[in-house]
C-alpha cells in the first residue's frame, strides 16, 4: 500500500467534503443581501444553525492531515499565502460570532447581519484566491517558499476568488430550496438558475485559463491519454446543467442540491487531474513532500479512528435536523 497516496486521498476527500458542507452555509451568507426581510433571514440562518460549526471540522481535518503527512507543503503554503489565509480566518471568526449573537440582539442586529455577510463572502473569496495561487504554482527552493509575499495578487487568483463566491452561492441556494417553503423557496429557486449558468461559465473560463497560465497543466490536459479520458466531462457538465434547469422548473426540493454537488465534484476532479502527481506545482511531487513512512503509518492509524467518528456525528446531525425549517425555530 502506498501510504503517500493514501494520505493524499484522505486530504482530497476532506477538502471536498469541506467545500460541499461549509460551502452551502457560507453560500447562505453570500445570498443574505438579496433577502432583506428579517423573518426570511432568520429562516435562512436556522437552516444551517445546527450544523455549520460541524461542517468546519473538515477544514481542520484537512489542515491537520497536511501538517502530519506533508509538512513541507504545509509550511510552504502558509508562507506563500499567509495574508489571504489570515484574512480568511478573521472572516470566519466574524461570521461565527454573528451566528451566536445575531439571534439574541435587537438594536444591533443589522450590524451582525453585516458581519455575517462580510464574514461569509470574505472567507469564500480568500479561499478561492488561495486555490488560484496553488494552481498557478509556488516558487520553492531547498524545501522553502522562495517567492514574493504578494505573489498571490494576480488577475487569475482574484477571478478564482470570485468563482468560488458563485460556487458557494449556488450550493447555498440549492440547500435553501430543500429546507424552505412558500415565497422564500420560490424566490431562491429563481436565483438558482442564473447562479448555475454563472458557475458553468466560471468552470469554462478556469479550464481555459489554467493551461494557458501553467504549462505543466497544459501538458497534462492535452496529453493524448488524459485528453481522451477527460473528453466526456464537458458533456456531463452540459447534461447536469440541463437537468438542473428541468428540476428547477418542476419545483423539486432536494434534487437541485445533489446536482449542484455533482457540478462541484466535476470541477474539483478537474483540479485534482491538473495537479496530480504534484503536491506543489510546478515541481514538488507528493513523494518529494511526504513525511517518512513511519510517520505516515502512525498518523494513518489515528485517521482511521477519527474519520469514522466525524462521519458518524455529521450524519447524525443532518438526520436529527432534517426537514423544513421555520423562522421562529431556535437551535442555540
Cβ(121)–Cβ(29) below 8 Å: yes
Percentage of the chain modeled with pLDDT above 70: 98
C-alpha cell at 207: 479550464
Q: What is the pLDDT of residues 165-220, one digit of tens each?
A: 999 999 999 999 999 999 999 999 999 999 999 999 999 999 899 988 888 888 87
C-alpha cell at 246: 428541468
Run of H or E including 252: none
Listed residue (156, 231, 158, 167) closest to 197, CA to CA? 167
Q: What is the pLDDT of residues 60-75, one digit of tens each?
A: 888 889 999 999 999 9
Q: What is the pLDDT of residues 259-279, one digit of tens each?
A: 999 999 999 998 898 888 899
Per-residue CA distances from 102 to 16, 32, 112, 113, 163 (Å): 29, 13, 5, 7, 28
pTM of the model: 0.94
DSSP string, 208-228: HHHHHH-HHHHHHHHSHHHHH
Q: Higher pLDDT residue, 331 or 123?
A: 123
Residues 6+ apart with CB under 8 A from 223: none
Cβ(202)–Cβ(180) below 8 Å: no
SS3 label, residue 280: strand
Give the CA diameter of the chain. 63
SS3 per-residue string spanning 4-34: HHHHHHHHHHHHHHHHHHHHHHHHHHHHHHH
Give 139's DSSP letter: -
Which residue has 449542484 as its cell numbers? 260
Q: What is the pLDDT of residues 211-247, one digit of tens each?
A: 888 888 888 787 767 778 778 888 999 999 999 999 9
Residue 170 pLDDT: 97
Cβ(180)–Cβ(47) below 8 Å: yes
Please name the residue ranges forming H helices in the chain.
Answer: 3-31, 38-46, 52-55, 57-69, 71-80, 82-102, 109-136, 155-179, 182-213, 215-222, 224-230, 233-249, 255-275, 286-289, 293-320
Say how many Å lie between the first and final Cα of the chain, rounded. Answer: 45
pLDDT score of 326 more than 80: no
Amino acid at each position: 500500500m502506498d501510504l503517500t497516496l493514501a494520505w493524499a486521498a484522505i486530504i482530497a476527500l476532506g477538502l471536498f467534503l469541506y467545500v460541499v458542507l461549509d460551502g452551502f452555509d457560507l453560500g447562505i451568507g453570500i445570498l443574505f443581501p438579496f433577502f432583506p426581510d428579517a423573518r426570511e433571514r432568520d429562516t435562512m440562518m436556522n437552516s444551517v444553525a445546527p450544523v455549520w460549526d460541524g461542517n468546519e471540522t473538515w477544514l481542520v481535518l484537512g489542515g491537520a492531515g497536511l501538517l502530519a503527512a506533508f509538512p513541507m507543503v504545509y509550511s510552504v503554503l502558509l508562507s506563500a499565502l499567509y495574508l489571504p489565509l489570515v484574512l480568511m480566518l478573521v472572516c470566519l471568526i466574524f461570521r461565527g460570532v454573528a451566528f451566536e449573537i445575531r439571534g439574541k440582539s435587537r438594536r444591533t442586529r443589522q450590524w451582525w447581519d453585516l458581519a455575517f455577510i462580510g464574514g461569509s463572502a470574505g472567507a469564500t473569496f480568500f479561499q478561492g484566491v488561495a486555490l488560484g495561487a496553488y494552481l498557478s504554482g509556488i516558487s520553492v527552493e531547498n524545501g522553502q517558499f522562495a517567492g514574493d509575499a504578494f505573489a498571490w495578487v494576480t488577475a487569475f487568483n482574484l477571478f478564482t476568488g470570485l468563482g468560488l463566491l458563485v460556487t458557494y452561492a449556488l450550493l447555498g441556494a440549492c440547500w435553501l430550496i430543500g429546507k424552505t417553503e412558500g415565497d422564500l423557496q420560490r424566490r431562491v429557486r429563481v436565483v438558482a438558475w442564473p447562479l448555475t449558468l454563472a458557475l458553468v461559465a466560471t468552470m469554462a473560463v478556469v479550464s481555459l485559463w489554467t493551461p494557458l497560465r501553467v504549462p505543466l497543466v497544459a501538458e497534462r490536459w492535452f496529453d493524448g491519454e488524459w485528453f481522451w479520458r477527460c473528453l466526456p466531462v464537458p458533456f456531463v457538465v452540459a447534461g447536469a446543467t440541463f437537468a438542473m434547469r428541468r428540476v428547477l422548473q418542476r419545483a423539486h426540493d432536494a434534487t437541485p442540491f445533489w446536482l449542484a454537488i455533482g457540478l462541484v465534484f466535476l470541477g474539483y476532479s478537474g483540479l485534482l487531474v491538473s495537479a496530480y502527481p504534484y503536491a506543489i506545482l510546478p515541481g514538488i511531487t507528493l513523494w518529494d513532500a511526504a513525511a517518512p513512512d513511519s510517520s505516515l503509518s502512525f498518523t494513518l492509524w489515528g485517521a482511521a479512528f477519527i474519520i469514522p467518528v466525524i462521519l458518524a456525528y455529521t450524519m447524525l446531525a443532518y438526520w436529527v435536523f432534517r426537514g423544513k425549517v421555520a423562522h421562529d425555530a431556535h437551535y442555540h
